[in-house]
Amino acid sequence: MSEPTHAATPETLSPQAQRELIEELLKKVGMNVTDIEEDFVNYLYNMLGRNLASEPDYHYKALAYAVRDRVMKLWKQTWAGYHQEKSKKAYYLSMEFLIGRSLSNNMLNLGIEDKVDLAIYKLGLALEHIEDAEADAGLGNGGLGRLAACFMDSCATLRLPVMGYGLRYEYGMFKQLIQNGHQIEAPDHWLGYDSYPWEFQRREYTRVIRFGGVSRPYRDHQTGRLTVRWEDTEEVLAVPYDVPIPGYKNNTVNTLRLWSAQATEIFNFSEFNRGSYFEAVSSKAEAENITMVLYPNDASENGKELRLKQQYFLVSASLQDVVAQWIEQHGHNVDDFDTHNVFQLNDTHPSLAVVELMRILIDDLGLEWDKAWKITSNCMAYTNHTLLPEALERWQVSLFQKLLPRLLDIIYEINTRFLKQVAMKWPGDNDRLRQMSVIDEHQNVRMAYLAIVGSFSVNGVAALHSQLLKDGLFNDFYQLWPWKFNNKTNGVTQRRWIASSNPGLRKLLADTIGEGWITHLDELTAIEQQIDNHSFRQAWIEVKRNNKKRLAQLVQQDTGVVFNPDSMFDVQVKRIHEYKRQLLNVLHVIHLYTRIKRGDTANWTNRCVLIGGKAAPGYFMAKTIIKLVNNVADIINNDPEVGDKLKLAFIPNYRVSVMEIIAPGTDLSEQISTAGKEASGTGNMKFMMNGAVTIGTLDGANVEILEAAGEDNFFLFGLKTDEVAELRHQYHPQSYIDSDHDLQSVFNLLESGHFNHFEPGLFDDLINGMKSPGDPWVTLADFRSFVDAQQQAATAFRNVERWTSMSIINSARSGVFSTDRTISQYNEEIWKLTPVGDGD
């Protein structure tokens, strides 16, 4: 380094002047149309080296950077505010964040959509096309992951100091292609060739995660205290990438921190030095494998070693991060840690957080067990998402021994102490001990039990679901700790699911009742006062019609099937799973087809049925259901006798950005799971908000949707939870076929091979499943009441006045299904955080 050689060396500014200069320079990131235009052009031409004639992908990138610049200052302010106030913070730990697209949502929340729209329009471009170029961030399977994304939006909008922690999968949810009616999975490299514009690598917060090795007891020579060291481990780096989460026009930007696995340099060096170049590179690849791909199983576990590694990786990185921030602020005294921090576990996937926090407190910070346990169990809260036994996570003790030996020690100790408590409560009751043990008879760790034992709050995600947890699955634990159990009915954010995805409805609402509903969805009830207002009703019909046209266009583009917007749009989109009963839907479609074929079409309601969703790649039955839908669609859509009376399409690659077009264009929302199996559902809420009427069973949040909408505005059918449970003892599907001509006709057609002429036996497993007394989903038991409810829906739809009222009422009464309500309840009853800042 040499001194500057200028004759007159310029003086360095004082720190104060430096701050003022920076402040002044940052003001250039203005909010006017010309400011945005300038930055967009600058990014497009100078950074990306492209021009106005380039592909929309470049326009998207340039605009994303320009919008992103408008987030940065608020983001830093929010972060600083949270740290200054030393306020209590919550951390949402989730293996999935199904974010979808961010551009339009961020513009909406920053309140700059109109300006951006104008800036882009002046340059001869269409904002819609630019938005369409954004790939979905598909870091989740379905409802659970989308819930986490909606929660982040509401936390920011409510100015709550909540940070999301997740994984930055290189490959998100697979892309679903349909070839010859079959699902084909293609990799989803959502990050694109360069980088994702909404993320910021934060190398300085890198954490070291350990796997393998052994745990060795060891006596500290000075204190004489017996401690344990976890040694000879392999280490992997967790590098954070931060994604900004802006609240709605409130100057708050929260953080979603996603961890990416990287090999440690040290660990590679030693292998290189030993001359094993190949091994060094392979072990680097192996380390980085941890965050390579999202497991595409929804509501079923797969027991793969790599999945457990992912779970621990998330939990360890996040807890180390929080504890490091604590130490930075408060020093090594963790006495008040549990009054300042709370962790919400999104299902059992991150439930190792209980064990990892114990490890950190005991091994790293030297706490005694009792104190560590008091802290840990006071700051963990667990959300259960399913009652399906196949979805309950269990991990083999032997796998823990191999991957996480130190954690296994701690799990054993937790269990030993817990079982003593059980024995105190129920002396001599060995069945209880066996039933409640965190380690089961087959040497598996029951992750749900671990989560319950280690948490102060256990919640289900809809009223019915939370009740069933107390009565059934977790009844023993409920008897022991009734105060832990509570309900938090899911929701969805109206910012994305109305304001951003349904601009027509947004405008009508704004013109009628203003925009208060964007942050206070209850205000939607005010539109019920317009229910007799002719021009409002006409406008309502017009909005729905335009949305149906938009949806029809998408369907035609993706499937070739032509939907007539005059028909009823009858939609079931969600993961393909037997319990969700897409099969029941198909049986009804086949039933309508047989009616058309026999000329039973008096007072017919034309109907377009849309089904969509991904099947887990290893889930044979679900994949066969997709094939069946496509084969039935082929027959129906190509039968000239059917015409507009009935259409069926399977929309490929169902995802968030597709749902944004589907929900606004739907008339009838299919929520037809076997009662007692769907924990909540959130698709049902998106549809309701957008004025669809539900046909559904008394399951999950349908119960609450029915209660809100009123029974005149909901098509209820099917057995109730207790009736299903009762029936399962003596279920005779054949008797339903024998006693119902319609069902008989459907099965005759199915079994004749009408839908699989050149593929004999293709659907035998599906058919036999439904006809088996062991069918857990009792599909045939609900056929008759489903068909009757469908007939009621069809009749109601033909009465435009009636249907319009039902549609308006559904929307008007959907306020309770905002995640703003859900998150307020999490906060008031579990987290107890104080909103930060004043929002101006």
Ligand X SMILES: *Cc1c(COP(=O)(O)O)cnc(C)c1O
Residues 94-133, mask of contacts with ligand X (x by CB under 6 A):
----------------------------------------
Q: Looking only at residues 407 through 436 of this chain, which bind ligand X when binding is defined by CB under 6 A?
A: none
Give me the least distance between CB of 651 and ligand X, in Å please.
Answer: 11
Contact segment (CB under 6 A) with ligand X among 152-160, 527-535, 681-689, 813-821 equals 681-689
The tokens 């882009």 sit on which residue?
120
Interaction of residue 681 with ligand X, rule CB under 6 A: yes
Which residues are known catalytic residues?
A: 385, 574-575, 580, 682, 686
Give me the least distance between CB of 615 and ligand X, in Å please.
Answer: 13
Give me the least distance between CB of 50 and ligand X, in Å please.
Answer: 31
Q: Which is nearer to ligand X, 143 or 181 (CB)?
A: 143
Number of residues that bind ligand X (CB under 6 A): 12
Q: Which is nearer to ligand X, 495 or 686 (CB)?
A: 686
Q: Which is nearer to ligand X, 307 or 686 (CB)?
A: 686
Q: Which is nearer to ligand X, 72 or 698 (CB)?
A: 698
d(CA 359, CA 366): 10
Task: For the beta carbon of residue 374, count every other beta carbon within 10 angstroms.
Answer: 13
Q: Which is nearer to ligand X, 176 or 804 (CB)?
A: 176
Q: Which of 351, 444, 459, 682 binds ligand X (CB under 6 A)?
A: 682
Q: Which is nearer to ligand X, 586 or 746 (CB)?
A: 586
Interaction of residue 769 with ligand X, rule CB under 6 A: no
Residues 139-178, mask of contacts with ligand X (x by CB under 6 A):
---xx--x--------------------------------
Of 478, 317, 515, 313, nearest in space to 384 by CA: 478
Residues in the chain: 840
Contact segment (CB under 6 A) with ligand X among 341-349, 599-607, 682-690, 724-732 equals 682-690
Contact segment (CB under 6 A) with ligand X among 138-146, 202-210, 363-371, 778-786 equals 138-146
Contact segment (CB under 6 A) with ligand X among 202-210, 538-546, 554-562, 652-660 equals 652-660
Interaction of residue 656 with ligand X, rule CB under 6 A: yes
Q: Which is nearer to ligand X, 574 or 623 (CB)?
A: 574
Q: Which is nearer to ligand X, 415 or 819 (CB)?
A: 819
Give me the least distance between CB of 426 and ligand X, in Å please.
Answer: 38
Interaction of residue 244 with ligand X, rule CB under 6 A: no
- Identify the three-state secondary structure at position 527: helix
- DSSP structure string for 416-443: HHHHHHHHHHSTT-HHHHHHH-SB-TTS
Q: How far is CA 376 from CA 104, 340, 404, 414, in A?
A: 39, 12, 19, 12
Give me the least distance between CB of 4 and ligand X, in Å please.
Answer: 58
Give me the least distance between CB of 657 and ligand X, in Å please.
Answer: 9
Structural contact between residues 201 and 348, judged by C-beta atoms closer than 8 angstroms:
no
Structural contact between residues 601 and 642, judged by C-beta atoms closer than 8 angstroms:
no
- Amino acid identity of 146? R
172 Cβ contact partners less than 8 Å away, ≥ 6 residues apart: 136, 137, 138, 139, 140, 188, 190, 294
Give me the least distance between CB of 570 and ligand X, in Å please.
Answer: 15
Contact segment (CB under 6 A) with ligand X among 467-475, 637-645, 677-685, 758-766 equals 677-685
Interaction of residue 655 with ligand X, rule CB under 6 A: yes
d(CA 431, CA 429): 5
Q: Which is nearer to ligand X, 283 or 671 (CB)?
A: 671
User: Three-state secondary structure along 609-674?
Assistant: EEEECCCCCCCHHHHHHHHHHHHHHHHHHCCCCCHHHEEEEEECCCCHHHHHHHHHHCCEEEECCC
DSSP H or E stretch at residue 151: helix 143-157
Q: Which of 101, 574, 607, 813 binds ligand X (CB under 6 A)?
A: 574
Give me the least distance between CB of 800 and ligand X, in Å please.
Answer: 27
Of 702, 728, 701, 731, nearest in space to 714 by CA: 702
Q: Which is nearer to ligand X, 379 or 576 (CB)?
A: 576
Contact segment (CB under 6 A) with ligand X among 101-109, 528-536, 655-663, 808-816 equals 655-663
Contact segment (CB under 6 A) with ligand X among 5-13, 417-425, 561-569, 651-659 equals 651-659
Q: Are strands 214-219 and 226-231 parallel, antiparallel or unpaired?
A: antiparallel
Q: Which is nearer to ligand X, 142 or 769 (CB)?
A: 142
Q: Looking only at residues 203 through 232 of this chain, which bind ligand X when binding is defined by CB under 6 A?
A: none
704 Cβ contact partners less than 8 Å away, ≥ 6 residues apart: 462, 463, 489, 816, 817
Contact segment (CB under 6 A) with ligand X among 114-122, 366-374, 675-683, 830-838 equals 675-683
642 Cβ contact partners less than 8 Å away, ≥ 6 residues apart: 593, 596, 636
Interaction of residue 664 with ligand X, rule CB under 6 A: no
d(CA 373, CA 357): 9
d(CA 746, CA 759): 19
Give me the least distance between CB of 17 and ligand X, in Å please.
Answer: 50
Residues 516-555, mask of contacts with ligand X (x by CB under 6 A):
----------------------------------------
The tokens 């008879």 sit on which residue?
441
At residue 270, what are phi and psi to the nearest 5 degrees?
A: -60, -40
Give me the least distance between CB of 319 and ligand X, in Å please.
Answer: 29
Structural contact between residues 447 and 315, judged by C-beta atoms closer than 8 angstroms:
no
Return the bridge partners of 684, or none: none
Return the bridge partners of 838, or none: none
Strands across the sheet containing 715-716: 646-651, 607-612, 568-573, 668-671, 693-696, 715-716
Eight-class DSSP state of 818:
B
Q: Which is nearer to ligand X, 237 or 661 (CB)?
A: 661
Nearest position to ligand X, beta carbon: 683
Task: For the beta carbon of residue 663, count every other beta carbon within 10 angstroms.
Answer: 27
Give me the least distance between CB of 66 and ligand X, in Å please.
Answer: 27
Which of 395-405 are b and which e, b meaning 16 or more Cβ less than 10 Å from the residue's Cβ? bebebbeebbb
Contact segment (CB under 6 A) with ligand X among 333-341, 653-661, 714-722, 740-748 equals 653-661
d(CA 383, CA 26): 42
d(CA 27, CA 585): 56
Interaction of residue 491 with ligand X, rule CB under 6 A: no
Give me the least distance between CB of 492 and ligand X, in Å please.
Answer: 7
Q: Supply 172's token pair.
A: 């998100």
d(CA 300, CA 832): 33
Give me the least distance between CB of 272 and ligand X, in Å please.
Answer: 44
Interaction of residue 659 with ligand X, rule CB under 6 A: yes
Q: Which is nearer to ligand X, 215 or 702 (CB)?
A: 702
Angle, helices 103-110 vs 56-84, to 10°: value is 50
Q: Looking only at residues 780 through 839 of this chain, which bind ligand X when binding is defined by CB under 6 A?
A: none
Interaction of residue 683 with ligand X, rule CB under 6 A: yes
Which residue ranges make up the site for ligand X (CB under 6 A)?
142-143, 146, 574-575, 655-656, 659, 681-683, 686
